[in-house]
Every structure is written in structure tokens, then in C-alpha cells.
Structure 1
Amino acid sequence: MENWTLSEDILLLEGLKVTPKSSIPAFTLLLLIYIFIMVSNLGLVVLIFRTRSLHQPMYLLYCNMSINDVFGATIIIPHVLRDMFISNSERYIHYMDCVIQAFCVHVYGSTSHTVLMIMAFDRYVAICNPLRYATIMTDKMVVKLSVAAWVAAFIMVAILLGLTIRLSRCRRVIPNLFCDNASLFSLSCESVLINQIYGLGYTVVLLGSSVSSVTLTYLKIAAVCLRSKNKMVNSKALQTCATHLAVYILLLISAFIIVILHRFPRLSDHRKVATIVGEVVLPALNAVIYGLQIKVIRQRIMAVFHSKGGLMNWK
């Protein structure tokens, strides 16, 4: 009986289909991307917290995105790297570990949207109500918005996974690179109608509120910029908003592709590639977009490299 219970709790991951010849190049590339994500995002956070001039709401909100990207990459990439050199029949994972991983994966995805929503609110206040910006976007407000972004994601995902773990299981194979909610409830032979309804509602609420709030925010910002005759103000607004909008559009496209491909089991290999791009490439791009497109941060990074270069030449 104990052996049967143990076998029920052990799941098998399909993993990424990589040929022996391409496994080493793929492993090396993925490892380098992971190192870049960690160094760039953590470096950005450290730089912001150590520089007094960057202790502003906009930059402190950026830290949420960087921390979330590090969190998401750490949940996924080491696991995928490990499985590259393990045969398909030996990619085991315990059921509870799978649930925890699925929870973290969905928290990462949900927080990506909620954080971008509060960042859009910050840009709206800065451009549409510049005289009241300092009184609205206080340190306390930044903390409240950050906590709200993370707590909202935790609650939505906790309900999502709570509905899934109540189901009994009759299958053991996870048809994905890592565990997620759709893969977990597909293990059950029971009716998953409630899971599908909540999952659809969760997706609609998250993406719907995200798209509508960001769209409304930028429409109001565009209206203010069109009425304003100050070219310098408009240029600064365009620069800061373009950075945020580029990250948001990339995230949105990735989310829609993954959601759509989940509806077509025959395209599981395509979904895995799309997932890798969405969960690995986006965190790397975010650091580049925010780190290099923001003038103050770019100047600080260049100053650090120049000081190191000068120190090496002096030595």
C-alpha cells in the first residue's frame, strides 16, 4: 500500500526535446541567459537602493519587476537545465514539489501584470497630475501599491491551485517543461469544469484588468501630451512611457501565445518553445530595457564601468 501511495505522488515531466548534439549548446545558452538575468536584475536593484537620487517612486517600483524576474527565472531555468541531461523516463518530480512550482510560476506571471499596472498608475500621476505627484506617490503609497500587486497575485493563484489539488489523479505525466495549473488538473479523470471556469475567469480578470487599465492610462497620457505645448515635457513623457509600454506589449504577446497554445495539445512542442521565450527571454529583456533606456540609471552604470576601467589602468 505504501509503495502504491509513493508511486501516485511521483510525476513524470516530458521536458524539452533536445538532441544529444544540441544539448550542450542549448544548456550553455540557457545558463548564460540565466546568469545575465540574475546579474542585471539584482545589479539594478542594488544600484537603485544604493543611489539616493534614485530613491523615487518610479525607480522603486522598477525594483518590483526586477525582483519578480529573478524569482521567475530561478523557479524555472535551473529546473530546465537539470532536465536537459536526464533521460525522458527519469524526469521525476514529487507531486507537492510540482504544486509548489506551479504556484510560484503562476505568481510570477500574475505579478508581472499587477506590477506593470501599478507602474502605469505611477506614470499617469506623474504626467497628468505633476503638481500633486509628490503628495500622492509617497513612500507609503509605493509600499501599499507594491504589497497590493504581490498580495493580489498570491490570492488569485492560491484559489487557482486550491481548486486543483482537491482533485484525485489517474495520470502521472506532466506534458510540459515544468509544472503549471493546466498540467496538474489534466492529471485528473474527474470533471474539471470548475477548474476550467475559474481558470478562464482568472485569465480574463488578470489580462482584462491589465489591458483596460494600461490602455485607459495611456489614452489619458496621450490626451495630456497632445494638449501640452511643452516639447521637453512631452519628450520626457514619451521616453518613460515607451519603456513601460514596450515591456508590457512583449509580456502581453507572450501571455496570449501561451494561453492559446494550451488549448491545442498537439502543439505541445510549440508551447514549450513559446514558454521558454516568455519565461526566460523576457526577464533578460526587461533588465536591458529598463537599465539602458533610463538615462539616470544608464549614466550610473557607465560611471561604474568607467571607474573600474580607470582603476585597472592606474594599477
Structure 2
Amino acid sequence: MLISNHSGATTFTLLGIPGLEAQHLWLSIPFSTMFVAILMGNCSILFLIVTEPSLQTPMYFLLALLMVSDLASTLAVLPRLLWLFWFDAHEISTKGCLVQMFFIHCVSVVRSALLVAMAFDRYVAVCEPLRYNTILNYTVAGQLALASLAKGVILILPMLLLLQRLTFCRTIIAHTYCDHMAVVKMACAHTKVNRLYGVFVFIMVLGLDLVLIGISYALILHAVLRLSSRDATLKTLNTCSAHFFVILISYVPALFSFLTHRLGHLIPPHAHILLANLYLLTPSLFNPIIYGIKMKEIRYKMAKCLCRRDTLAINPGHKEGSE
């Protein structure tokens, strides 16, 4: 680490992936491929939800918001990372660093809260099917969305305010983006409050949200086990499978990323940084794939759009109404 002669740093230097600096150009290939795949996958699901009237329901409204949060998370990380890899653009202003940190962590909190809202949706669909349209209408879905956004802002804004009171005497951040703990380590003063608040946010997000999701699925499982038909049980569980896989992809990497910050001395730096990037990008990459495969409505509409496109390519004068 380099030590600055002044206490108030105006710029930080993002090192990238420690130990793999010489391979940055090669590493940009999988990351740029991931970037294109994330944009195509999430935008495709969003396009279907917006254009298909049958998909314009509260459940798909929440799914669309999840896709938007995945895109926001990706756009907060990958363009800056690729710019660093391609052009060795390591410098970032202190304000720019704080803005990037806010968006990355705020979107992560919002995405987690949306997964809780979607767990509530699955609970109502399974346990209160006759009252589903009454309990989970667009008004309630909108309120859940606003609550998710509010939770992100309320939890992450104090994190930035606590950082702004610090002075920074180290300027090289061993990371590809401005992560909270990576920036905290640059401070000259005691950072116990910042670290404790980071743990508090972790508990409020990963801890509380997982408890709420667990309660929803415990009630769902209780309702499913009372079904007399095995086929009905499997069919009901299948309606929750997409959301369940998304939960695993979202929370397992997040847990490992949090632990590597606390056990960093036991893990190689490059492994920690790669894991931190995968924690943010893996859900964005796999969520559209999971929902595209597991939800038959999306699968059917996607196939219908592809068939329509192929038909128009073969016969430009063809119209659906002429069939």
C-alpha cells in the first residue's frame, strides 16, 4: 500500500485483481461476455413482461423489478471494471467512488428485499390461492416495491455519511470496484463504527431477509404436505422452484463474500476479489436463465416470439391475423 502525504485523499486507485494485473486483458474476455449475456437475458425477460398482456400481473411486476435491479447492479460494476481492464484506467475520484459504492450496495439491498416480496407472493399463491388477487394486487405490489427501495436507501445512506467523516491516508484499493470494506481499510482513523455498521447492514439484509423467506417457505411446505395427491404436491412445489434457485444463487455467494472480508488473511487476494465480483454478477447472469427455464409462461412466450420472428424472416408479408 502507498501512503499519501496528506490526510484527505481526493482520488483512489483501483488496483484491479491483485496478483493478476498482467492478465487483466485476458480476464476482460469472460467479463465482457458475461456483460453481454446479462444485458440480453434481463432485457429479453423485461421485453416479454412489458409487451405480453398475459404477463402483466403483480407477480411478473415484481419479477420485472428484479430484472431491473440485476441490470442496475451490473451497470454499476462491469463498465468501470472493463474500462480498468482495457485502458488501465485505475483512478477514480473520492466522490465517484462513494457514488459507485452507494449504487452497488443499495441495489443489493433492494434485490434482497424484492426476493422477500416474491417469497410472500409464493406464500399467497400456495396458501391463499382463492384470495390471491385480493391480497396481492398491483397496489400491494407497488407498496412492496417502494418498501424495498426505501430499505436500500435507509440502510446504505448512513454508510456513506459515516465514511465522509473519515480521512483517507491510503489511496490504493485492492479491488475492481469501490466496496464498503475495501474503502474503510483506506482510512487513517479508527473505523470500528463503520465496521459495526457494516455488520448491522449484513444482519438486516442477509439475516432478516433470510428469516422472512424461511418463514414463507415453512408455511408453504406445511400447506403442501397436507395435499393428498403426490402430483398436486410436486406441481405446487414446482411453482416455487424458480424463486428457490434464485435465492440460492443470490445468498450463497453473498455469504461467502462477507466471510472473506472477515477471514481475508486465510484467502488469496485474487480469489477474494473474484468472489466479490461473482457475488454481484452471478444473480444477474442466472436469474433470467432460471426464470426462462422454470416458468412455463415465459418459456412459452419466448418460443412464440422466436417462432414469429422466424416466420417473418422467411415470409415478410406474413401476418398473424392471416393464419
Q: Which runs of 5+ in 1 are unaligned?
A: none
Q: CA deviation at 1:24?
A: 4.4
**Partner Cα distance (1:47, 1:124) in 2:** 25
Query: Which residue of the partner structure matches residue 58 of structure 2?
Result: 57
SS at match of 2:178: coil
Give, as a single letter, the amino acid of the residue that structure 1 aligns with 2:149: W
Q: Deviations over 1:189-228 (max 9, x none)?
A: 2111111111111111211111111111111101101111
Query: Which residue of the partner structure matches residue 12 of structure 1?
Result: 13
Q: CA deviation at 1:237?
A: 2.2
**Partner Cα distance (2:228, 2:58) in 1:** 26
**Partner Cα distance (1:299, 1:25) in 2:** 38
Give, as a single letter, the amino acid of the residue that structure 1 aligns with 2:205: L
Give, as a single letter, the amino acid of the residue that structure 2 aligns with 1:226: L
Superposed, 1:160-179 pairs within 5 Å as 160-179=159-178
Q: Which runs of 5+ in 2 are unaligned?
A: 317-323
1:38 aligns with 2:62: no
**Partner Cα distance (1:182, 1:162) in 2:** 14
Query: Which residue of the partner structure matches residue 272 of structure 1?
Result: 273
Q: CA deviation at 1:19?
A: 5.8
Do the aligned partners of 1:261 and 1:270 also contact (CA within 8 Å) in 2?
A: no
Superposed, 1:164-243 pairs within 5 Å as 164-231=163-230, 233-243=232-242
**Partner Cα distance (2:176, 2:137) in 1:** 42
**Partner Cα distance (1:120, 1:149) in 2:** 13
Q: CA deviation at 1:34?
A: 0.8
CA-atom RMSD in angstroms:
1.9
Query: Which residue of the partner structure matches residue 319 of structure 2?
Result: none
Query: Which residue of the partner structure matches residue 144 of structure 2?
Result: 145
**Partner Cα distance (2:199, 2:27) in 1:** 34
Q: CA deviation at 1:282?
A: 2.2
Query: Which residue of the partner structure matches residue 245 of structure 1?
Result: 244
**Partner Cα distance (2:283, 2:131) in 1:** 33
SS at match of 1:8: coil
**Partner Cα distance (2:25, 2:181) in 1:** 30
Q: Name which of structure 1's ranges 92-101 and 228-237 shifts more when overlaid on structure 2.
A: 228-237
Residue identity over aligned pairs, in percent, reads 24
Give, as a single letter, the amino acid of the residue that structure 2 aligns with 1:150: L
Q: CA deviation at 1:263?
A: 1.6
SS at match of 2:28: helix
Do the aligned partners of 1:16 and 1:84 also contact (CA within 8 Å) in 2?
A: no
1:306 aligns with 2:312: no
Query: Which residue of the partner structure matches residue 295 of structure 2?
Result: 294
SS at match of 1:100: helix
**Partner Cα distance (2:212, 2:282) in 1:** 25
Do the aligned partners of 1:103 and 1:180 also contact (CA within 8 Å) in 2?
A: no
**Partner Cα distance (1:237, 1:165) in 2:** 49
Detail structure 1 runs of 4+ shifted over 6 Å in the superposition. Answer: 4-7
Do the aligned partners of 1:261 and 1:271 also contact (CA within 8 Å) in 2?
A: yes
SS at match of 2:86: coil
